[in-house]
Structure 1
Amino acid sequence: MFARLTGLALAALLAAPGYAEGDKTGVGVSSMIRPEANFGRGLSMTIWYPAQTGGGASELVGRNAVFEGTPAQREASPLPGKLPLVLLSHGGRRSSEQSGAWLAARLAEGGYIVAEVSGQRPRDPASALGEIWRRPAELGQALDLLLNDPDWQMRIDDTRVAVAGFALGGTAAMMLGGGMIDEGAYMLNCWTGHPSTDCAWFGSAGVDPASVDLQALTLPRRDARVRAVLAIAPEYLAEFRPDSLQPHAPDMRIFGLDQPAPGEVRLAARTGIEVVPLEGAELYDLFARCTPNGAKLLQEEGGDPALCASSPEERSAVHDQVATGTLGFLNRALPSPD
């Protein structure tokens, strides 16, 4: 269930109190909104960074009735010096903003500036068709904006840029690293044994995913500024052209779920890119920890209570695997010049 919450859940989100005063995390958070960017549909970023403790307004980012929030200090003073940047895209076509806050904060604690990029959420299945190529395009635009912003350009080491993503965001990350989707395989995806999670949504509206703009889908999205790529449970893994990832110019790491996804074995055999499994991980464990009433609220709102099926301890264990593995990969792929 990647849909943004409605009704009661949205009201609870707006009413959620801030993080307790005095709980300093050393993680700062800021926002950048550009209504004119991203093909005129707007682009927003939540930017996380290592911050000096004791400043900024305490906040729980992404908190609502279903998900726990992530503590940070709004507009806290950044630590001095230039730091590596990670562009982050989380979730599928219907994901809410700040779904990746939990990982962004962990990476900021580890010394990275992280920009979670959120385009305008599609109105309906028809408008969502282009998300598969819009996601990598908006990541590239976000990088342009950051490196040309007077405040952020002096804080970002533009020789140490990475991109990371979950689900369709992972697909976008791989495309920014040079991966290309085979158009024929993509057009048949909903009729295979490994259909996209959105196939039923498209079908319910009479939308054929094959009607996507094929020219835009197959346009190379490789961004030479990106030095490292991390994809976590990426969608359409079996639809990537292996030759587009071999040899892969940036360092690339793929984390898979506990159960192997279609295409993992073939990808490893033909590209040398190993898919590292996350022990015990299901797809929904890549979202924030749920509140005690999260599953009940989802059911009442017509959502999928399976989104909150795992216990807080189980989800935290998966988060720890992702954060530790991500930091280990980034530290190796983007070494400090010192």
Structure 2
Amino acid sequence: MIARLTGLALAALLAVPGFAEEGATAVGVSTMVRPEANFDRGISMTIWYPAQSDAGASELVGRNAVFEGTPAQREASPQPGKLPLVLLSHGGLRSAEQSGAWLAAKLAAGGFIVAEVSGQRPRDQASAVGEIWRRPAEMAQALDLLLSDPDWQMRIDETRVAVAGVALGGTAALMLGGGQIDTAAYARNCDSSHPAPDCDWFAEGGVDPASVDVQALSLERRDPRVRAVLALAPEYLAEFRPETLAPRRAATKVYGLAEPAAGETRLAVQAGIEVRPLEDARLYDLFARCTPDGAKLLEEEGGDPALCGSTAEDRAAVHDAVASDALHFLHRALGLTG
């Protein structure tokens, strides 16, 4: 990933009894864990959904010493009827779980079931090499699990499925939409003028990302069930083969940051996909809001205090803008009214 959280910064999620946000749309949250899935590495999903007013136990999901939590009602009764589904993958190789809670909750409040998918996090650099292809594979498997689960299959409109992702999760989302990585370009990435965020981390461990399983990386990961793709600041954008994105079997929207990433112009020209800039936004603004002591704690624990470099107000404004535009795109792409 992009930042390392250690020690106290990786404190367990805290449920806060009695917490409630007055006037907010009721958002429920549940958890599904399947240890046998994903090549026996296990899949864990935090599932967010529009809830009925008989809310469950109030909780701040993802709250720890660095990040503020996202309010939700644990195991609240879902609203009746079938709803569209968004599979969400947030962050890079070492992102903390629940990094996408803020986005998941906003999409759920807008009428979607959102499953944030978390596979087993890499233990070290050697075990992380395959994450670029494992991430889309585990998202497709998560969709299989949801659509075969007795509780969720009757609540999901399987004709309206979207994927969304941030950073490496955005890369996975594009791959599920049909995009394929140029393996030769990927092998040269860390020696290019636009190295990925984890190149230094791989080098520290003496691991060359080019040692990835080329056959697994070159496989097409497109899932025909996916009708819409939302990618926020995707990694390896310059390494995608434009001709694999051009057909756009799924409606696709890519968000960039205030400073364009390598590959954005080429993608726009060759694949016909516009990369919309998120004005005044940096990558870390796509993470949760930080606590007042978050930056200091990160510095003390050997992390990157830049993860908490913007004010809570500025980050909240980015979150609101992203969620509003994402909801507009998803409603249009999935043929929803209202």
Q: What TM-score, normalized to structure 1?
A: 0.97
User: What is the CA–CA distance in structure 2 between the aligned matches of 1:217 and 1:51, rounded to whole Å?
Assistant: 39
User: What is the CA–CA distance in structure 1 between the aligned matches of 2:134 and 2:18, rounded to whole Å?
Assistant: 34
The answer to whether 1:17 aligns with 2:47 is: no
In structure 2, the CA distance between the partners of 1:136 and 1:107, relative to structure 1 (3 Å rule), is same
Equivalent residues in 2 for 1:1-338, closer than 5 Å: 2-3=2-3, 5-11=5-11, 13=12, 17-18=16-17, 20=19, 23=22, 25-336=25-336
1:230-281 Cα distance to aligned partner (Å, 9 max, x none): 0000000000000101111100000000111110000000111000000100
Q: Which moved more, 1:126-135 or 1:317-326?
A: 317-326
1:147-186 Cα distance to aligned partner (Å, 9 max, x none): 0001100000000000000000000000000000000100
Q: Say whether the 8 Å CA contact 2:163–2:230 is kept in structure 1.
A: yes
Amino acid at match of 1:71: P
User: What is the CA–CA distance in structure 1 between the aligned matches of 2:231 and 2:39, rounded to whole Å?
Assistant: 25
Q: Which runs of 5+ in 1 are unaligned?
A: none
In structure 2, the CA distance between the partners of 1:16 and 1:304, relative to structure 1 (3 Å rule), is farther
In structure 2, the CA distance between the partners of 1:293 and 1:19, relative to structure 1 (3 Å rule), is farther
Q: Say whether the 8 Å CA contact 2:2–2:197 is kept in structure 1.
A: no
User: What is the CA–CA distance in structure 2 between the aligned matches of 1:14 and 1:84, rounded to whole Å?
Assistant: 28
In structure 2, the CA distance between the partners of 1:136 and 1:19, relative to structure 1 (3 Å rule), is farther
Q: Say whether the 8 Å CA contact 1:16–1:64 is kept in structure 2.
A: no
Structure 1 position 55, deviation (Å): 2.0
User: What is the CA–CA distance in structure 1 between the aligned matches of 2:17 and 2:10, rounded to whole Å?
Assistant: 16
In structure 2, the CA distance between the partners of 1:93 and 1:19, relative to structure 1 (3 Å rule), is farther
Secondary structure at the counterpart of residue 5 of structure 2: coil
Amino acid at match of 1:151: D
Q: Say whether the 8 Å CA contact 1:47–1:115 is kept in structure 2.
A: yes
In structure 2, the CA distance between the partners of 1:288 and 1:18, relative to structure 1 (3 Å rule), is farther
User: What is the CA–CA distance in structure 2 between the aligned matches of 1:114 and 1:277, rounded to whole Å?
Assistant: 24
User: What is the CA–CA distance in structure 1 between the aligned matches of 2:249 and 2:288, rounded to whole Å?
Assistant: 32
Q: Percent identity, aligned pairs only?
A: 73
Q: Say whether the 8 Å CA contact 1:107–1:327 is kept in structure 2.
A: yes
In structure 2, the CA distance between the partners of 1:286 and 1:14, relative to structure 1 (3 Å rule), is closer
Secondary structure at the counterpart of residue 60 of structure 1: strand
Structure 1 position 336, deviation (Å): 2.8
User: What is the CA–CA distance in structure 1 between the aligned matches of 2:161 and 2:195, rounded to whole Å?
Assistant: 32
Amino acid at match of 1:80: P
In structure 2, the CA distance between the partners of 1:37 and 1:3, relative to structure 1 (3 Å rule), is farther
Secondary structure at the counterpart of residue 40 of structure 2: coil
Count of matched residue positions in the alignment of Structure 1 and Structure 2: 337
Amino acid at match of 1:256: G
User: What is the CA–CA distance in structure 1 between the aligned matches of 2:4 and 2:313, rounded to whole Å?
Assistant: 24
User: What is the CA–CA distance in structure 2 between the aligned matches of 1:75 and 1:195, rounded to whole Å?
Assistant: 42
Q: Say whether the 8 Å CA contact 2:15–2:59 is kept in structure 1.
A: no
Q: Say whether the 8 Å CA contact 1:62–1:70 is kept in structure 2.
A: yes
1:29-54 Cα distance to aligned partner (Å, 9 max, x none): 00000000001100000000000123
Structure 1 position 193, deviation (Å): 1.0
Structure 1 position 18, deviation (Å): 3.8
Amino acid at match of 1:55: A
Structure 1 position 17, deviation (Å): 3.4
User: What is the CA–CA distance in structure 2 between the aligned matches of 1:79 and 1:244, rounded to whole Å?
Assistant: 38
Structure 1 position 9, deviation (Å): 2.7
Q: What TM-score, normalized to structure 2?
A: 0.97
In structure 2, the CA distance between the partners of 1:14 and 1:147, relative to structure 1 (3 Å rule), is closer
Q: Say whether the 8 Å CA contact 1:3–1:96 is kept in structure 2.
A: no
Secondary structure at the counterpart of residue 117 of structure 2: strand
Q: Say whether the 8 Å CA contact 1:91–1:168 is kept in structure 2.
A: yes
Instruction: Let me know the Cα RMSD of the aligned residues.
Output: 1.5
Secondary structure at the counterpart of residue 299 of structure 1: helix
